[in-house]
């Protein structure tokens, strides 16, 4: 769901850094697929779905459910291929594009405060930034950035069956894996090299550049870095102590966490530690599944946004990456097979994938895997586990 684009092309470590995967291979050394951690047995449909995820080659999966039934944690597979240890209960993970929902909430709070207008051009807040090769900040609105209808090119290269394009970040040497990137530089480079991919507002194409720009907007309008605004406006009020935006140069995940893996040339590589600055406001944050459940539950309950702004966030359009879902302003609407209406986001980043949401009955689910699915079939297997958590738990 709404993850960073995955790369095609040569199988190198650098390709995997930005999300490339080759053919799936069964992971060796995995522990039993029997669910663990809580001492409770998950519902049969969920247990079977989790088992299929591990059988697909993903080392481990964890399902964290909160709501009317209390707090439940179910784990299968392994969180560390070197030791066989399970994924730690509520361990921290890189949450990828779930970061976008946090950024969107801050922007919409600024809207409520009269500091930002949704339908104002981004040029008003970031003069001279969206320019070059046909891009025009006077024609791209804040709303279009939030909903991925801006038409701006993606600063991250590649995608299924796609070629990398000029100006895109490809991380083509291992040193860049640890490099500190700045959002302004990434945006400037891609806009100088590529024209818009469509007219602003014409359609929806999920593009990470949009959220780098929104992070820059928050920096400028709030007068503080977007990471500080997320902490001040969301994390501290909700008591999300295990969620954070990594500071410049931080490469490790704090606290208990599983190892994250990807497959390159048939070998499973550990991609737990790296500098996520290239993801920035589009996907750099770290959290626990329990914190993600609390965040999205609070958001949908109106604890973070006034009714007018939450309604705007839930005004959706088609979603190019998931035809069964629709996309709002940093928020995804996805019906479950049992009829539940689920709101969330989800995200993927090298080493980790999260799929999550909250249903109208108050059930919140976050599913974490410690290797990205490398094809559509694997993604569907993970999605089935999410559905089973909502419909069978």
Its sign, for the CA torsion 311, 312, 315, 318, is: negative
* E-assigned strand segments in the chain: 60-66, 72-77, 93-94, 131-132, 135-136, 261-264, 267-270, 286-287, 317-318, 326-327, 332-335, 341-344, 347-349, 352-359, 364-369
Q: Count CB-CB contacts under 10 A for residue 147.
A: 26
- Going by C-alpha positions, the residue among 100, 109, 36 that lies closest to residue 296 is 100
DSSP code per residue over 73-120? EEEEE-S-TTT-PPPPTT-BEE-GGGHHHHHHHHHHHHHHTTS--TTS
Q: Which of 97, 101, 231, 379 is catalytic?
A: 97
Is 14 among the residues known to form the active site?
no
Tell which residue, 90, 73, 86, 88, has the closest CA to residue 30.
86
Residues marked active site are found at 97
């Amino acid at each position: 769901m709404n993850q960073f684009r995955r790369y095609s092309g040569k199988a190198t470590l650098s390709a995997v850094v930005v999300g490339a995967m080759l053919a799936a291979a069964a992971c060796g050394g995995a522990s039993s697929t029997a669910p663990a951690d809580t001492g409770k047995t998950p519902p049969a449909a969920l247990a079977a779905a989790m088992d299929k995820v591990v059988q697909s080659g993903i080392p481990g999966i964890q399902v964290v459910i909160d709501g009317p039934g209390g707090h439940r944690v179910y784990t299968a597979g392994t969180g560390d291929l070197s030791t066989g240890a399970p994924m730690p209960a509520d361990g921290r993970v890189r949450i990828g594009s779930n970061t976008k929902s946090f950024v969107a909430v801050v922007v919409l709070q600024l809207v409520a405060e009269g500091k930002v207008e949704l339908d104002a051009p981004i040029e008003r807040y970031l003069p001279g930034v969206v320019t070059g090769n046909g891009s025009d900040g006077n024609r791209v609105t804040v709303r279009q950035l939030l909903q991925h209808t801006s038409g701006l090119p993606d600063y991250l290269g590649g995608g299924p069956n796609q070629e990398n394009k000029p100006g895109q970040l490809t991380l083509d040497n291992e040193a860049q894996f640890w490099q500190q990137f700045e959002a302004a530089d990434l945006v400037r480079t891609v806009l100088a090299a590529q024209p818009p991919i469509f007219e602003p507002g014409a359609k929806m194409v999920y593009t990470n550049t949009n959220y780098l720009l929104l992070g820059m907007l928050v920096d400028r309008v709030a007068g503080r870095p977007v990471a500080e605004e997320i902490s001040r406006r969301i994390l501290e009020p909700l008591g999300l102590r295990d969620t954070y935006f990594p500071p410049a140069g931080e490469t490790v995940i704090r606290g208990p966490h599983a190892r994250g893996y990807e497959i390159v040339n048939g070998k499973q590589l550990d991609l737990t530690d790296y500098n996520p600055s290239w993801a920035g406001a589009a996907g750099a944050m770290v959290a626990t599944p329990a914190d993600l459940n609390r965040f999205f539950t609070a958001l949908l309950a109106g604890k973070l946004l006034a009714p007018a702004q939450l309604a705007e966030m839930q005004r959706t359009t088609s979603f190019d990456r998931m035809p069964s879902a629709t996309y709002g302003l940093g928020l995804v609407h996805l019906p479950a097979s049992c009829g539940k209406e689920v709101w969330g986001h989800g995200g993927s980043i090298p080493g980790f994938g999260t799929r999550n949401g909250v249903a109208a009955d108050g059930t919140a689910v976050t599913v974490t895997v410690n290797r990205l699915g490398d094809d559509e079939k694997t993604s569907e297997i993970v999605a089935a586990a999410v559905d089973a958590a909502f419909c069978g738990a």
